Structure 1
Amino acid sequence: MRNITDIFFDLDHTLWDFEKNSALTFQKILTESEVPVDFDRFLEIYVPINLEYWRLFREEKISKTELRYERLAKTFKALEFEASDELINHLAEQYIAHLSSFNHLFEYTLELLENLHGNYKLHIITNGFREVQNRKIKASGIYDYFEHIIDSESVHVKKPNPIIFNHALALASVSPENTLMIGDSFEADIQGALAVNMHAIHVDFDQKHEHSHCPIVRHLSEIEKIL
């Protein structure tokens, strides 16, 4: 890829190991709240439910409040565990409060950012909640690598809406042909970026995707070879 000056990263599932950190957070808050459910079974049910509710949230079909409550309520219902509204709301609040306490990054994240920093201007575009994402970025030690952190709450739209990408381009004062978006979501990150004429690299750790829309990497160390 030639003439790239600015690289935009997704955060969760791309640099920040969301599933691992989320699991550790639930282990902590379920234990502290003495919720007697099988933890492995809880995660088995919760993970796909959470992904589905994030899709609905991204498509503007549910609110942030509904997302935080309903994903837990549906999980407990599937577990046949009677959880009160009070407990669900408490766990939802505790989850957000403690999620950034765990900051496992994907392998090679720090090396990649260190190698790219100085040669490119680095930025983040995330659909996550502003207060949580900022804490994650700072606590994991990667904040200083990025010039701009664009979150969907600030722009009032979510990826793949072109508005958030165009806002990011304007903020960075860069033309789309000189930019690269790196992310794990084909719909939100890749299709969203390509729609506004940005270049893209699809991070696919689980090897679930095959397409010709842009390069696909299975490990972050492969990105520098493409650049």
Structure 2
Amino acid sequence: MKLKDKKHIFFDLDHTLWDFEKNSALTFQHIFNSNKVNLSFNDFINVYSPINFEYWRLYRTNQVSKEELRYGRLKKTFDKLGYTINDTLIYKLSNDYIEHLSSFNHLFEGTFELLNYLKPNYKLHIITNGFNEVQQKKMHNSKINDYFDVIVTSEMVGVKKPDPKIFEYALEQANATVNNSIMIGDSYEADILGANNLGITSIYYDVHNDNVPDTQIKVDNLLSIITFL
């Protein structure tokens, strides 16, 4: 099935093109070593990952602030592991994490092949809930920045996906319409329902093995997107 009359493709960044889990793990390894945190790295990641996921859900729904997310996800992880650590070091680790995260730039397999295939025929854009100070660095350092015409972050707009305002803002900036646009992302709630509720066609990058309606277009690897475009 080919999607007709589409001119603009909006991508999510983290977990969709940029391999957040791998890059995040490498960042934690680096900052734990430099700050002499004597804790099993695997134990930390296993506990941290679901806590971080939940904090991002709370952040997306405006139940915690950016600062509460950055501190709370670490504090809760260390508490759950029974690891004694003071707030000064938690704040330092939080800052070091943001500073070094964009130093690691693994992309999902097929990212460059997909972007090279799409670029001649579509205008490509980014809509991300990530923080301004790191998203631009991630894209620049991973050498994908030049593929995209419009890059919209939630901090830029003041709301986060799935709020319709961020999609409307991105459409306006790209001079695109609901009918000639596609949204591609890994979060069913933020990317897919956010786009669908506005009438934007979406492709769900199903990296989480979620149960979604049969009517939803979905792929389990990036290059499968070519089937529809």
Assess same fold via TM > 0.5: yes
Rounded Cα–Cα distance in structure 1 between residues aligned with 2:224 and 2:217 = 10
Q: Tell me which residue corresponds to 1:187.
A: 189
RMSD over aligned Cα atoms: 0.8
Q: CA deviation at 1:82?
A: 1.1
Q: Tell me which residue corresponds to 2:217.
A: 215
Q: Mark the runs of 5 or more structure 1 residues left unpaired by the alignment.
A: none
Relative distance call for 1:169 and 1:92 in structure 2 (3 A) is same
Rounded Cα–Cα distance in structure 2 between residues aligned with 1:91 and 1:210 = 37
- Aligned residue identity for 2:64: I
Rounded Cα–Cα distance in structure 2 between residues aligned with 1:148 and 1:192 = 18
CA contact (8 A) 1:206 1:218 kept: no
Equivalent residue for 1:94, pick from 96, 109, 121: 96
Q: TM-score, normalised by structure 2?
A: 0.98
Q: CA deviation at 1:214?
A: 2.0
Matched position secondary structure for 1:181: strand
Rounded Cα–Cα distance in structure 2 between residues aligned with 1:177 and 1:206 = 28
Equivalent residue for 1:81, pick from 80, 83, 91: 83
State how 1:99-138 maps to structure 2 within 5 Å. 99-138=101-140
Q: CA deviation at 1:213?
A: 4.1
Rounded Cα–Cα distance in structure 2 between residues aligned with 1:42 and 1:162 = 35
* 2:197 corresponds to 1:199: no
Q: Mark the runs of 5 or more structure 2 residues left unpaired by the alignment.
A: none
Q: CA deviation at 1:208?
A: 2.9
- Aligned residue identity for 1:149: I
Rounded Cα–Cα distance in structure 2 between residues aligned with 1:172 and 1:210 = 29
- Aligned residue identity for 2:41: F
1:135-172 CA deviation, whole Å, 9 max, x = no partner? Answer: 00000000000000000000000000000000011111
Q: Identity percentage over the alignment?
A: 53
Rounded Cα–Cα distance in structure 2 between residues aligned with 1:125 and 1:212 = 25
CA contact (8 A) 1:182 1:201 kept: yes
Q: CA deviation at 1:118?
A: 1.5
